[in-house]
Chains A and B, each alone.
Chain A
Amino acid sequence: MVCIVTYSGRGVSASGPKRTASLTNSFATKAKINRSPIKQVVKKKELTNGHVVNHNHRNNHVIKPKAKVDHQRVEVKRREQRKRAGESFEECTLWDAFCTYLCYAVLVLVGYVNDLVRPRTAKEQNRDGYVPLYASFESFYTRHVYRRVRDCWNMPVGSVPGKYITLLERESKDYGWTFQMTGKKVHCINLGSYNYLGFAENHGTCAEAAIKAVREEGVGTCSARRELGNAHHLDELDQLVARFVGSEDAITCAMGFATNSMNIPAILNKGCLVLSDEKNHASIILGLRLSRATIRVFKHNNMRSLEKRLREGIVNGQPRTHLPWEKIFIVVEGVYSMEGSVVRLPEILALKRKYGAYLYLDEAHSIGAMGPNGRGVVDYWGCNPRDVDVLMGTFTKSFGSAGGYIAGSKKLIALLRRGSHAHAYGTAMSPPVAQQILSSMKMIMGEDGTDEGVKKIRQLARNSRYFRQKLKQAGFIVYGNDDSPVIPVALYMPTKIAYVVREMIKRGVATVGVGFPATPLVEGRTRFCISASHTKEMLDHALGAMCEIGQQITIRCSRLPRRKEEIMYDDSDDEDIE
């Protein structure tokens, strides 16, 4: 019973007693049947709110002499830890919010003055009398706010995006209007690319296999899959993906973004209600918009909000006609790329079962990167992949390739083979790209005969936990789940974002800054993406640099209790077992 822990996502504490009871009961019954051993272990611990537990209890990373462990017990314990893994999200304080708004206000004001004194707007040529191509505010923001920090994005890269990355230095002589290459190269530790398992390599078995594919099958395909683009390796890939994620069948697509935007319209139609997480990716939103289904947004990872929307949806029916909805879909992501949070899958599955909704799970950032076997958040939570109706994921991140998949029941995939835009019109996947996925996925599954894949998964989990704990200890405001390899650190102000990115590059660490409009105005942040190819020394270097910068600008102002004892890097093979 106790395995239902209430979470403290987004600073909202446990949900109201009545609602939670209804929600937890259904899940608890299932847990009771399926996982009776959990009870014995768990009962001793008291029911506590997520991140508080993490701070008060023993550290998982301290190396202790290990006696022979009972594997079942260990698995149960791991699961338990996962359930407790805190989701932290500190709200921006009033003072920070004020400062951030002030910062934007100053930028806008200076912009206006600038426009008055020496108007420098890109003028469109020979389009006199046309209605302007884009709104004046849009170009104002680009000219006066984005332009000042433009050097922090789109940096040209001259190497493989592996553990290190080579940036080609640019300089701007006119305050960000144009850039020139200096010809110099900057070598950085790469904490910016989505290379979770470290498969971005220009040598080794995967790269050689890809080169072989180029030699044998060429680069392009020049045809859609439903025309004459269906190659043997693509059929093999479909089957392998289905086996990997544990579903009946799967279909692949040559672009990750298009997997969402071009397949969702085939699954959903006008009479459907979609409950979409507010932090869902642009590709999902585009797909939903194209499907013409009714979209309602619920608060990020907030089960109470989701249940409320579900009930409202069923009770009120379709707008105006009040006809009952044909289908209700819950659309969520596994790991949110900007938040670092992990979806609360068991609770969502319970809700879905209770209300008869369908679940669309986008595992773009979690497939390969989460779970003891790298099978995504489904594996992480120990759920059954067949309970999720539509499993979507991409190959860009963990597999170091490109493209995406949708997996599900045989019927669903049959529908997509008939109705998917990508299958009918999109060019079939390039052979080397497909080969890279085949080799890396087989490696993760251990089908290449080595334990390379498992090692990578463990290394990633270890690195993510270590880096996050260290950042928290240093007092940074870290968002998201303790186990997620995406680690955003709140900076709030646009000036701080630019400062951190620039200074980190100076100290040999490449990171990503994210600000408005990709995040809300007061939630500017920098983001670290941890990879299995990073070593402890590299992470320590990055942490050192971050702390140094944190000293200069006040960004180490977390109000959460900090851990006193030293955080150890667990370099043993069995990660996170006490």
Chain B
Amino acid sequence: MLNAVLAFFYRNLIGAPSYHLYLEAFLALWLFWLIRQRKKAEKKKLLTAEEEETIINAWQPRPLVDEKELDKMEGYDNGDVWGPISGRPGKYVEIDGEKYLNVATHNYLGLMDSTELDDAAEQCIRRYGVGSCGPRGFYGTVDVHIKLEEKIADFLGLEETALYSYGFAAVSSAIPSYAKAGDIIFSDELVSFPIQRGLAASRSTIIYFNHNSWEDLQEKLEEQRKTDKKNAKKAKTIRRFCVVEGIYSKSGTLCPLKEVADLCKQYKVRLFVDETISFGILGKTGRGLTEHLGVDIKDIDFISGSLEHGFASFGGFIVGPSYVVDHQRISGLGYCFSASLPPLLAGAGIKALEIIEQNPDIIEDVQDKCKYMHKSLDNILTFFKITSEELSPLKFLYLVGCKVLPWEVTRELIEQVIIYVKDNYKIALIQPSYLDSEHKLPLPCIRISVNRLLTYKEIDSIGNAIEDACNALNIFDSIIANISDEDAELRNEMVSEYEAYLKAKEDKQSRKAVLEEEF
């Protein structure tokens, strides 16, 4: 067989015309020459050892920390006003030996002052020690973790919970475990920083829609649908997600979840809701925004939350159907590769949930206080604009005209107010801290957190204290002085508003004087 083939070739070779042989030989030589040329060219491109050495010697690294850049960074630290706290930061907080009314920390439900949580924590330390010494996979799953997970899932009426050891890590790990490069995430532009980190880590295409504007979301979805039609095959593999917050931690507004959920259903987009602030606050029994707005919780793919705000413990969680949440346990980076939550904190979390379940009037109480606080802040509306809704436990106070004021001036004025209130009324107020890397860096503001344990009188005193501070420090004049002539219209508007305020105030005082006289 082989012989026959060889013989066939030999015969053909002999029989071929000679020019054919020459041509083939020439072609082979040419190919050889080409390859050599290319190799030579490659060699020429390479640097010699000396050249490399010169480049290496010439390279100068920048300093590890550039001091100029350090000065430029937006790094407001409330530590400039408030020293380190000592003792328990409950309704009152002790700083430098003085006791202040605390409306700065996220202790909405007043559980920081509850000794029941301490008892639970102590019991856990006596049983499990402090640390868990391992990730969930490797002997770090303590029975209290499982109990807390079940409790959260039962509380919300969902199938499964994945418990993270830090609130920040929960949502920022959960998003990239589903959304990958090539997927599309529609996100509200005011989502919190942990969500933004999650979005960044996912490497998906991020489409921000205007804050709380479901009309804008619809527009963006429609746009996407049009692009999808052009490439229907590819569109079938692109996952779409929508991320919103229950109560926005940067503005105190509530999400119009009903409309958003309907849109998501219509366009087949998966919906993630972060209830870090609203969990335990909204709804009749504290089950969050879905309960408050009457949205079917099954329409949401997962809800993320944290025990670090109202629940006065630690840890974050993702709760949803098993199909979704179970995937976290093998692909959530912050879940798999981090040590689990210290059992004592899980124990405190269980207790906190039990307290809420057994006393639903706590929820009613906190909602009532939120509304009352909203109303009582009415008298400072001349100086501050409040973006928060009345049900939000976070009240954001933006200085009037802050949009046209220079950044440093706003910061300085707000700090003056905080210091005045600190010194004269013993109330702890803070400016929320943000970083430059925020998607939309919010302007400086004062953030008040409502605590259930505040009395109506104390709530009133907060508004009055800020009003007094603004009047005493002539904040309004400083604002007007710092507004440039370009914004004269706005300035005039503000001045007329301020005059009306002064007049009303005078009237009130004279009426009060008359009343007192009569009395």
Contact = CB atoms under 8 A, between A and B. Distances in A.
B143 to A, nearest CB: 5
15 contacts: A124-B321, A154-B329, A159-B128, A218-B312, A222-B112, A230-B84, A231-B89, A255-B166, A255-B169, A315-B47, A325-B61, A358-B64, A394-B339, A401-B131, A419-B75
Interface stretch (A56-64, A420-428, A448-456, A567-575): A420-428
B79 A157 contact: no
A220 B428 contact: no
A162 to B, nearest CB: 7
A387 to B, nearest CB: 13
Interface centre among B118, B131, B237 (most CB of A within 10 A): B131
Contact of A314 (B59, B78, B166): B59
A130 B270 contact: yes
Interface stretch (B340-348, B371-379, B487-495, B501-509): B340-348
Interface string B17-35: 0000000000000000000
B112 to A, nearest CB: 5
Given A155-B141, A227-B78, A355-B56, A161 B434 contact: no
Interface string A296-330: 00000000000000010011000000001111100
Contacts, number: 352
B107 interface: yes
Given A156-B141, A207-B125, A227-B433, A220 B62 contact: no
Contacts of B338: 255-258, 283
Contacts of A326: 61-62
Given A417-B77, A425-B194, A427-B167, A433 B333 contact: no
A432 B47 contact: no
A165 B238 CA distance: 46
Contacts of A422: 168
B52 A311 contact: yes
B138 interface: yes
Contacts of B303: none
A168 B143 contact: yes
B94 to A, nearest CB: 10
B122 A222 contact: no
A216 interface: yes
Nearest to A513: B138
What band does the interface of chain A fall in when counting residues whose beta carbon is under 8 Å from B? 35 or more
A543 interface: no
B63 to A, nearest CB: 8
B142 A402 contact: no
Interface string B110-136: 011100011001100111111111101
A122 interface: yes
Contact of B337 (A194, A220, A283): A283
Given A129-B268, A165-B139, A427 B84 contact: no
Interface stretch (A406-414, A459-467, A474-482, A558-566): A406-414
Given A161-B139, A202-B125, A328-B61, A257 B118 contact: no
A118 to B, nearest CB: 19
Given A131-B240, A427-B308, 10 more contacts: A124-B324, A130-B270, A134-B327, A202-B126, A231-B85, A255-B165, A258-B166, A396-B133, A419-B436, A433-B130
Contacts of B70: 411, 414-415, 418
Interface string B164-182: 0111110000000010000
Interface of B: 47, 52, 55-56, 59-62, 64-65, 67, 70, 73, 75-79, 82, 84-90, 93, 102, 104-107, 111-113, 117-118, 121-122, 125-134, 136-143, 146, 165-169, 178, 192-194, 197, 200-201, 236-240, 268, 270, 298, 301, 308-309, 311-314, 321-324, 326-327, 329-331, 333-334, 336-339, 341-342, 344-345, 348, 428, 430, 432-437
A8 interface: no
A445 interface: no
A396 B337 CA distance: 12
A221 B312 CA distance: 7
B139 A512 contact: yes
Contact of B59 (A156, A356, A399): A356
A224 interface: yes
A430 B314 contact: yes
Cβ-closest 7 pairs across A and B: A418-B75, A257-B338, A255-B166, A220-B312, A396-B339, A223-B105, A226-B433
B155 to A, nearest CB: 19
Interface centre among B90, B137, B168, B341 (most CB of A within 10 A): B168
A168 B139 CA distance: 11
Interface centre among A123, A219, A255, A400 (most CB of B within 10 A): A219
A211 interface: yes
Given A192-B138, A223-B104, A327-B62, A281 B337 contact: yes
Interface centre among A138, A265, A424 (most CB of B within 10 A): A424
Given A216-B88, A220-B308, A221-B105, A257 B345 contact: no
Given A411-B65, A424-B435, A222 B327 contact: no
Contacts of B331: 134, 138
Contacts of B107: 220, 222
B264 to A, nearest CB: 10
Contacts of B268: 129-131
A228 B105 contact: yes
Contacts of B344: 210, 214, 219, 432
Contact of A214 (B85, B118, B143): B118
Interface in A187-233: 190, 192-195, 199-203, 206-207, 210-211, 214-224, 226-232
Nearest to B90: A218
A412 B64 contact: yes
B111 to A, nearest CB: 8
